[in-house]
Structure 1
Amino acid sequence: MIAPQATDTKHWRFHTDVEKIGWLTIDTPGASVNTLSREAIMELETLVARFEDLASSGELIGVVLLSGKDSGFIAGADISEFDAMSDFSVLPEALKRTHALFSRIEGLRIPVVAGVHGFCLGGGLELALACHYRIAVNDDKTRIGFPEVNLGIFPGFGGTGRSIRQAGPVDAMQIMLTGKMLRPGAARGLNLVDKLVRHRDMLRWEGRKAVLQKRKSSEAPLAKKALALPLVREAVANQMRKQVAKKARREHYPAPYALIDLFEQHGDDWRAMIRGEVDAFVPLMGSPTATNLRRVFFLSEGLKKQKVRGERFARVHVIGAGVMGGDIAAWCAYRGMAVTLQDLDMDRIKPALDRAKKLFKKRYKKKHEVDAAMLRLTADPKGTGVARADVIIEAVVEKLEVKQSIFKGVEGKIKDGAILATNTSSIELERIAEALDKPERLIGLHFFNPVAQLPLVEVIRSRFNSDEAIGKGASFALAIGKSPVVVKSAPGFLVNRVLMPYMLGAVERVEKGESKELLDAAAVAFGMPMGPIELMDTVGLDVGKSVASELGHPVPEGSRFAQLIAEGKLGRKTGEGFYRWEKGKPIKGETPNHPDLAALGKELVRPLVDTTEVVVGEGVVANADLADIGVILGTGFAPFLGGPMRARADGRA
């Protein structure tokens, strides 16, 4: 018998082989990643109808679903369609249609096998869970999960119920509530994946075997399912709410709470859970939180388009092994670069190496990976690495004359094309560059503390710099997994410029007798990740004073602020500042009652918002969008508000 001819649509390729196995490949046109757009789903409906016909006639014994992209399986639904899809007249029907399609796939009498490599996220994982069996490549590029909560929603293509069916209620809910991306081994351990293979080229062979052997995934064991039974589900749901409340307030981020409510209603019946998705999901999609989080996503993705093609960075030299310099060096080594770290002597460099090892142990799973990273990070007290480095970053004390001296000393040693950068947090580049023969070579690469956690790097442009130099700086930031925002050289640049009025205003209120605990609680109620006093302690009182002075806000003599600095109580790094710190956490007293914490928080944050408007007006950043994403990434400003400029426009700040 002759096998049916191949069928190609815009997003899918399908053919059957001589064994009557169907091979379905998704390959989104003109994109580096696969997404499930409305068009792709409509095409899949047509293909599934064909599978049903071929299976009924005995011409198809199974289907293997693979990806044609190197980047991975499916990164999720097409987020660019979400604004249009948030229309209440469109979304419910679209969700029901996709539910019906995935149920048809699940209901096929022939095995359907998903072969996963790279990203399998959101709607992609929901489609994989509708298949009967899942195979994944067991390497570091494979990531499996539901990141929807980061966009203000939760899985809406049946993923809530099917993940609970496979992994059990607690594990599945944890994945959805956190948005955590799982490595393949963890996904296998949670029964979201049935088999692991070593290489992508093994997916076809294992997929074939799975079809021929009619393999089918098993559900979670009864012991796990018991936690969704009516007698215990309410208690489990309440515990989930308590955990979510530690990180997100319901009025700011309604999606995780809506998901928990859905679980409390239907958690013991995965099919009912899927049916309940539509009514719970629809209000979230068009909510201000989801709308703003989508905007933040697109702004963040836009920063990645600054990459300069052909630029490669293999060697980095960092001058200054203090907290910032050492942590920048460690991060670059973690990202795979060879790094030399310079300071006056080994006594100053060793603490940075010790911190780096802690970072590597935390980030890597295997000892040999930690050892390899440590080999990439070399102590270099004599600065011999300068001549070979592709990037030289100065991160010493915030003193103009010290920085000028360093750059005068290295300018003649660096190779052509190397990036010469300062990590200054507030000093204008033109003043530092005055000491150089070629001032156009110096750019700013301003990192934020803690380096391993905060994604922003301000790429500072002086009046001397060319587009090429700034482009290379942005490209380097992307190469080490950071988000570059280009800002003009001006006192405080963007983030410190807007943060200082906010923090100093709060400090001034504490000086006048207001409760620091109350002010911090109010800022958190508004939506900030931490309050301004805790933030000042985290930044370091000495750093805060230095930046404040650069911006023309000197710390008054005789103030509590000045007294703490004089006593060496500089905040978290010394164990005491405005707060006493233990194990990296501030010890706080009781928070006084207040009738409207959020309103007080809005009042506290107003100087930050006002200053952001001024910075945009002065052209320090190119536009309000860049100001918003820069302030969100650099300060943690409430993402659900879309940034200070969007919040002001919406009347929410």
Structure 2
Amino acid sequence: MDSKGNAYTTCQHWRLDVDAEGLTWVTLDKRNESTNSLSSAVMDELAVLLDGFDRHPPQGVIFRSGKAAGFIAGADIQEFTQLDTPAKGIELVTRGWQLFARLASVPYPTLALVHGHCLGGGLELALACRYLLAVDEPATRMGLPEVMLGIVPGWGGMLRLPERIGPQAALDMMLTGKTVDARKARRLGLADECVPPRVMDQAAAMLVLSNQPRRRPPLLQRLLNGPFKALVAGTARKQVARRARAEHYPAPYAIIDIWARHHGNALAAPQLIDSIVRSPTARNLVRVFFMQERLKSLGKGGTFQAKRVHVVGAGVMGGDIAAWCAQRGLTVTLQDQGMERIAPALQRAYAAWGKRIRDARELRNVMDRLIPDPDGHGARQADVVIEAIFENLEAKHALLQDLEAKIRSDAVLATNTSSLRIEDLRSPLARPERLIGIHFFNPVARMPLVEVVAAEGSDPEVVQRGIAFVRQIDRLPLPVRSAPGFLVNAVLGPYMLEAMRAVDEGLTPATVDEAMLAFGMPMGPIELIDMVGLDVAVAAGKSLAGAGAGAEPPRCLLEHFNAGYLGKKSGRGFYEYRAGRPVKGPVGTVPAGLAERLVRPLLERSRQLVNEGVVADADLADAGVIFGTGFAPFTGGPLNYLRSQHA
């Protein structure tokens, strides 16, 4: 290092600067990328930097990001697709483990200045530093989400996170992939300090120059991370078993075992690591990650940015769409026939936000953006107008004609219909090409997918604006062509129909559901029908199931519907609901081949919709069915699953 601290000029991704106090600021600015990730080249250069620091120990080192997007997003996921031999998988883990262990043992103070996202390998790097300073802004999120990719945090996360915040909080983060913001990181002890952006550099320098020891976790946390590990591990395994089966998702179980039996050192269990890293689950979950990134990319590149949204229809769907848009920062006007219809939606939004937004001023600001509008004045100023009333063609015709006469010529006019064709809805409009579908799923706040529906002759610019709007509100846009049920409902219809046929044949609803839970679905098809509503299933049944005109609805469906059982919303459907949970009877023996029988119509319908061009290709179909229905992600999607069965 020269007197100015500008050594290592051969590094393409790292930049060094030495300030007047003698502190070395190490900036990661990955070349030709908008986001920092820890590729092999980045890691090799970090090793070179540490070599130099060994020769000329610095006063202190502060790691920071040169990207506006955040600190470090994690490892380079592309490299996971190249792990085709056991040696490559072990080599990948070894490189990160040894490098970060080396960083953790240096004699000079080190600090990670976390501004924006800090995930996976990025957090493992930060944990290897003596100090972690979190910048208090909404974009700052920290977590170890490797489990979402079917892998484990093998570069030291399973060792250092439990040491820093205690095993219970650490396992909760590692086993779920949850992230925490700057303030929670400070409360947990993950961050030493939490400061606003304007003082982050000064605060970082002061903390490093103080050279103070890190505060130790409380005694109980140290005991739980030591003598009482087995107790914590046993509890964690039971909790994981309620959410995921080991044969489908081995990674969370491996995390528990490596922490409890090997002190978080993945290299102590090389066979386990190889079985995880190169497993079909990891391969498919990495595939799902890239499909998700593809959906996100569909909304990029344009200039459209909505500021105002007008929603007509304050029922569950319309009210929740309006609430979600307001939470994402847009000004939203919500229209219905009177305040008595709008008030429940506002109350529901306030109750939901109150659980997540602790700051009273922020909560008030969000509520101020959700404006009741019985007379529909907001439609004239809106950038996006969404019709979300009940599924009646004549009523929608009258409303859409009225809206078209009011709204701006450049506004996006959309319908949230789930079963009516765009061609039929747009027929009375003066400019029919401007109407598109923006189809949300229930519950809006939890379902990440939104179908953006185009009909023959739809204005491509309007469609692209609809896609950009969906990304703007942090949802995944899936372009689909107008057809009965579009993609998601079209594949669910025959799947749910086959499940009810099995009940008609004498199987209990609990047995049918258990077959698909064992297959890997997050919810059984009968419980799903209860959630959708038996009245909806009766109304949409034939068209969405693809049944012939003479086909009769399942007997069990009609019997429950005629008895007044509408599903979860009425407290009883196929199941009785207590405190919002279904009361299921004994499962009994699940017949061999039942799951394959039940899922086959869904698989075949998915393939048919790709062949018909309702969705552009198999990858988009797989992404849509996973993010729109919860179809077992470890399979990589229905069409990927079909290919694997015929391989």
1:400-447 deviations in whole A, cap 9, x for unaligned?
111111111111111021010111111111011111111101000111
Q: Which residue does the alignment assign to 2:251?
A: 255
1:437-470 deviations in whole A, cap 9, x for unaligned?
1110100011101111001111001002122111
Whether the 8 Å contact between 1:446 and 1:458 is mirrored in structure 2 is yes
1:604 corresponds to which letter in structure 2? L
Q: Which residue does the alignment assign to 1:643?
A: 637
- Does the residue aligned with 1:66 lie in a helix, a strand or coil? strand
Change in CA separation of 1:652 and 1:338 when aligned onto 2, cut-off 3 Å: farther
1:303 corresponds to which letter in structure 2? L
Q: Which residue does the alignment assign to 1:339?
A: 332
Whether the 8 Å contact between 1:289 and 1:640 is mirrored in structure 2 is yes
Partners of 2:443 and 2:588 in 1: CA distance: 30
Residue of 594, 602, 609 corresponding to 2:603? 609
1:593 aligns with 2:595: no
2:177 corresponds to which letter in structure 1? G
Whether the 8 Å contact between 2:311 and 2:388 is mirrored in structure 1 is yes
Change in CA separation of 1:541 and 1:486 when aligned onto 2, cut-off 3 Å: same
Whether the 8 Å contact between 2:93 and 2:267 is mirrored in structure 1 is no
Unaligned runs of 5+ in 2: none
Partners of 2:5 and 2:509 in 1: CA distance: 73
- Residue 222 of structure 1, CA deviation: 3.1
Map 1:555-574 to 2 at 5 A.
556=552, 559-574=555-570
- Residue 399 of structure 1, CA deviation: 1.6
Q: Which residue does the alignment assign to 2:287?
A: 295
Q: Which residue does the alignment assign to 1:320?
A: 313
Whether the 8 Å contact between 1:460 and 1:487 is mirrored in structure 2 is yes
Residue of 518, 521, 530 corresponding to 1:537? 530
Map 1:129-168 to 2 at 5 A.
129-168=127-166
Partners of 2:447 and 2:116 in 1: CA distance: 25
Residue of 267, 284, 291 corresponding to 2:276? 284
Whether the 8 Å contact between 2:533 and 2:567 is mirrored in structure 1 is yes
Map 1:73-112 to 2 at 5 A.
73-85=71-83, 87-112=85-110
1:21-47 deviations in whole A, cap 9, x for unaligned?
211000112222111100000011111
- Does the residue aligned with 2:86 lie in a helix, a strand or coil? coil
TM-score, normalising length: structure 2: 0.96
Whether the 8 Å contact between 1:244 and 1:256 is mirrored in structure 2 is yes
Map 1:402-551 to 2 at 5 A.
402-551=395-544
Partners of 1:457 and 1:88 in 2: CA distance: 39
- Residue 277 of structure 1, CA deviation: 6.0
Partners of 1:558 and 1:285 in 2: CA distance: 44
Residue range with higher mean Cα deviation, 555-564 or 606-615: 555-564
Partners of 1:293 and 1:621 in 2: CA distance: 21
Query: What is the total number of aligned residue pairs between the two structures?
Result: 641
1:243-262 deviations in whole A, cap 9, x for unaligned?
00111100000000111122
Partners of 1:652 and 1:181 in 2: CA distance: 38
Partners of 2:375 and 2:417 in 1: CA distance: 22
Q: Which residue does the alignment assign to 2:238?
A: 242
1:266 corresponds to which letter in structure 2? H
1:217 corresponds to which letter in structure 2? R
Partners of 1:595 and 1:499 in 2: CA distance: 22
Q: Which residue does the alignment assign to 2:219?
A: 222
2:576 corresponds to which letter in structure 1? R
Change in CA separation of 1:484 and 1:495 when aligned onto 2, cut-off 3 Å: same
- Does the residue aligned with 1:316 lie in a helix, a strand or coil? strand
Partners of 1:157 and 1:564 in 2: CA distance: 54
Map 1:55-70 to 2 at 5 A.
55=57, 60-70=58-68
1:471 corresponds to which letter in structure 2? Q
TM-score, normalising length: structure 1: 0.95
Partners of 2:422 and 2:554 in 1: CA distance: 32
Partners of 1:63 and 1:558 in 2: CA distance: 68
1:640 corresponds to which letter in structure 2? F
Q: Which residue does the alignment assign to 2:114?
A: 116
- Residue 297 of structure 1, CA deviation: 0.5
1:236 corresponds to which letter in structure 2? V
- Residue 282 of structure 1, CA deviation: 2.7
- Does the residue aligned with 1:15 lie in a helix, a strand or coil? strand
Whether the 8 Å contact between 1:296 and 1:629 is mirrored in structure 2 is yes
Task: Give the percent of matched residue pairs that are identical in Structure 1 and Structure 2.
Answer: 46
Whether the 8 Å contact between 1:167 and 1:219 is mirrored in structure 2 is no
Whether the 8 Å contact between 1:425 and 1:547 is mirrored in structure 2 is no
Q: Which residue does the alignment assign to 1:579?
A: 575
Residue range with higher mean Cα deviation, 219-228 or 65-74: 219-228
- Residue 310 of structure 1, CA deviation: 1.5
Q: Which residue does the alignment assign to 1:355?
A: 348
2:143 corresponds to which letter in structure 1? G
- Residue 96 of structure 1, CA deviation: 1.8
- Does the residue aligned with 2:63 lie in a helix, a strand or coil? strand
Partners of 2:253 and 2:432 in 1: CA distance: 54
Whether the 8 Å contact between 1:392 and 1:421 is mirrored in structure 2 is yes
Aligned-residue Cα RMSD (Å) equals 1.9
- Residue 86 of structure 1, CA deviation: 5.1
1:124 corresponds to which letter in structure 2? G
Partners of 1:180 and 1:380 in 2: CA distance: 37
Partners of 2:511 and 2:407 in 1: CA distance: 51
